[in-house]
Structure 1
């Protein structure tokens, strides 16, 4: 027994000696974390702008809304290169990577769909990446250029198991320089770019008053919170969207004014340009001096007087012609469109003959038109009110304001230099309303106004032809006791 135990002990010691002798020292090689430079033949790299051109050529030439880089495609062996401008770290992006073709002064971008979350830990903001096009497909997804795998006539997410083979990181990480734009500059080809808006603010109805809004935590926010962002320089507006899954959805919107860096995109339906951010740190509203318009707000009243000071139901106007006569001033500030009379008995029926203005397919960079009443003396009687009706047709990219001026001299040349205040109590049809319906302004009280003045309806189109719809106006009456 002792001999057997001795041999067991000897065998154990020998095994330990052999194991220890195989280890030369206590330093182990750790796998390298260094990212190697990407070496791809530059003749195999195409620009993201070229990618868009190839898709549009396929759409226009062959009627196909999707282009696949398979073995039958001569560009099957090509790559695109871009810089990451999206981040899902704060939850506002999900399983998508947005790339633009340069870190500064870009002119094209693409959304890459990937079945991976999170992505920011691997493909961080500013990282240069190469995307292999082999067996991928490109199409417009929710209005923006998108890359993924083909799923019928749509693009779907790249599988996680294939992601590193498709998207290769380069060591280069750049500071992304936002592209300065104004809201009036927006168009479809600028989507998927990282932009800067200067001198903007959230609309006063979103952030002021007793119930200011959050980014995306209101009861009626379904998938995205949509808030109105406006330019202090031009008055142009755009929808600012935030996912209801964003970490910061419950934060209140900033009340000030300043710059905003974010991405230009479309809404889910692909029918309205939106601006969004990776997180709120790119919103720098450091000025407390807002640019809200002056307001005339006497309130609303339950009934109106019997004396008509001014009225027009437009029944004497000639359809297809500019509104004229009856003391009207019909002024074109920008573009070629004007307020005109029309008749329609279809789904979007007029109220007999009505007035309308729109810049859809006008070709104008901007359309601004004024329709102004004759002067009204508010000291000659009491109990003044105004009522009117409005409707709209696909007016997402345009606005209609009802304004009052006491210092305009009646000369069209001085309209834009006069002081105009918003009649904030008057209801104007909203974008989400059914286009076939007409909506009343309410009985808008004007009795707090003294002296004389003019009331105007001002139409502003953004210049985005596909979405500058039409506003319709009718049954205008200014009454008093």
Structure 2
């Protein structure tokens, strides 16, 4: 088995994290209402942790063990799992429920009831697991000789066997010897996020998306599409700037709310578990129950650009009076175009390598006292994304032709830039508008700068900046 080659790697990695992963809390109370066998099993786990015979590893560190393996692979023909050789145990709090049939033979758990930092899938040959592993239940999983890796949705999960090249389920015989719940059931406090803030780091977590709605063209539709055999994906939207940000709500054909009409009259909040679609192509949200859809507010409407004055615009038909200068490396912003769209492009990718570069694209001076309440709007496309290299700044003391490092720069728009969609593939020429970036604090004459930073040669994403607008009311 290929996974045996990982023993040395796992042991080396684990040695470095075990010091920080061990539980420091000595309060190991034993539940008294789980039945004698389950009580005894959990009591033994807690005693073994105290004695050092068993080490608790965090969900984040367990996932890091697998990710280190995954990052070291190439090509397509390799196992998407590793076997755990050490006496480890991982603890989490359940975020999902199969009570409505929207989850099947799996549950998800995160590392804290509130403000989690990591989450994990658990695959098991058991239906109606909500009766045992209810939402908020504290669960311990013994990992020795078990497997961690991708499930069919490319979500890192644990299981008791393998399934072709993926992690397989804990068998019915393994469950009572490997998965133990405590008497603790915590209230899971959902992460409050906008749709554009939900990212892969939230997979497996219970989140609440605020100020959302289903598109009006779905009026009369149900959560499930009767023409689909398995899962149905419905678009969820939120008003952001002059358009919508979108996300996917996915519903199993076995859910008991499959034929329930979508609420399209109002908007509000929706809470669910962030996962991936089959094959791992898209982030999706799965509902535990439609009671977690609370649409009691009026629908939102995007901003109308006609309500604003465009006080500055650059469409980059040429580089024009914009300055390009590098503080690291020789690769820089350059003007180009495709399909009638012109833009400034930057990328650290060069002949199969990633160059170290920091390149500045600096605007001409702009008078910010000529109007009030300025907002910045950018249109950007990306390709081959492996991280976000773009940052935006303004400066009141930069002098053209000097070293940018000698000036004072204030970062702007980090959230709006990081919220843009990610294209890991070929150029799709899909230019997305950022949300409005506040410039109301800028006074006097100032310049804007857009900086491509390859982060010491680790990010090579291609960035095409096609439009820069400053709006004022």
TM score, norm. by length of structure 1: 0.56
Please tell me whether residue 150 in structure 1 is matched to residue 162 in structure 2: yes
Structure 1 residues 32 and 91, CA gap change in structure 2 (3 angstroms): closer
CA distance in 2, matches of 1:339, 1:237: 31
1:86 aligns with 96
SS of the counterpart of 1:197?
Answer: strand
Q: How does 1:320-335 map to 2 (within 5 A)?
A: 324=317
Q: Please say which of residues 356-365 and 49-58 is displaced more in the overlay.
A: 356-365
Residue aligning to 1:133 = 143
TM-score by length of 2: 0.57
Q: Structure 1 residues 94 and 471, CA, compared in 2 at 3 Å: closer, same or farther?
A: farther
Distance 1:286 1:32, change over 3 A: closer
Compute the RMSD of aligned alpha carbons: 4.1
Cα 1:32/1:277, change in 2 over 3 Å: closer
Whether the aligned pair in 2 keeps the contact of 1:393 and 1:469 (CA below 8 Å) is: no
Cα deviation, 1:305-358, whole Å, max 9, x if unaligned, reads xxxxxxxxxxxxxxxx97528xxxxxxxxxx9999622xxxxxxx6xx666862
Partner of 1:238: 247
From 142, 157, 177, the counterpart of 1:165? 177
Equivalence for 1:205: 217
163 and 468 in structure 1: CA distance in 2 versus 1, 3 angstrom threshold: farther
Distance in 2 between residues matched to 1:112 and 1:213, nearest whole Å: 32
Residue 271 of structure 1 deviates from its aligned partner by 1.3
Aligned to 1:460: none
Distance 1:92 1:253, change over 3 A: same
The Cα shift of 1:213 comes to 1.5
Distance 1:340 1:183, change over 3 A: farther
> Which runs of structure 2 are paired with 1:51-66 in the superposition (5 Å)?
51-61=62-72, 66=80
Unaligned ranges ≥5, structure 2? 1-32, 307-313, 319-331, 344-379, 391-413, 419-423, 434-438, 441-458, 467-473
**Would you say the 8 A contact 1:110–1:145 is kept in 2?**
yes
- Counterparts in 2 of 1:20-35, with a 5 A limit? 33=35
Q: Which residue of 1 aligns with 2:82?
A: 68
Q: Which has the higher helix share?
A: 2
Unaligned residue ranges in structure 1 (runs of 5+): 1-30, 297-320, 326-335, 343-349, 369-391, 402-412, 415-464, 473-481
Select which of 224, 236, 244 maps to 2:231.
224
1:166 Cα deviation after fit = 1.2
* Structure 1 equivalent of residue 290 of structure 2: 280
- Structure 1 193/65 Cα, relative in aligned 2: closer, same or farther at 3 Å? farther
CA distance in 1, matches of 2:89, 2:66: 15
1:64-463 matches, within 5 Å, as 66-70=80-84, 73=85, 76-141=86-151, 142-148=153-159, 149-207=161-219, 212-219=220-227, 221-233=228-240, 235-255=244-264, 256-291=266-301, 324=317, 341-342=337-338, 358-360=381-383, 361=385, 363-364=389-390, 366=416
Aligned residue in 2 for 1:28 = none
Residue 60 of structure 1: how far off its partner (Å)? 3.2
Does the 8 Å contact 2:124/2:169 carry over to 1? yes
Question: How many corresponding residue pairs?
Answer: 310
Alignment of 1:465-480 (within 5 A): none
Contact 1:100–1:110, Cα closer than 8 Å, also in 2: yes
Once structures 1 and 2 are overlaid, which stretch shifts more, 194-203 or 233-242? 233-242
Contact residue 381 and residue 432 of structure 2 kept, 8 A = no
For 1:182-232, what per-residue CA distance to the aligned partner results, in whole angstroms no more than 9, with x for missing partners? 22223222211111111111122223xxxx21101342x342111111123
Which structure has the bigger radius of gyration? Answer: 1
Contact 1:393–1:470 under 8 Å retained in 2: no
- Deviation at residue 32 of structure 1 after TM alignment: 7.5
Q: Distance in 1 between matches of 2:252 and 2:465?
A: 30
Q: Does the CA contact (< 8 Å) of 2:238 and 2:300 recur in 1?
A: no
Q: Deviations over 1:25-81 (max 9, x none)?
A: xxxxxx9858636425155111100111111122234666544345xx3xx211100
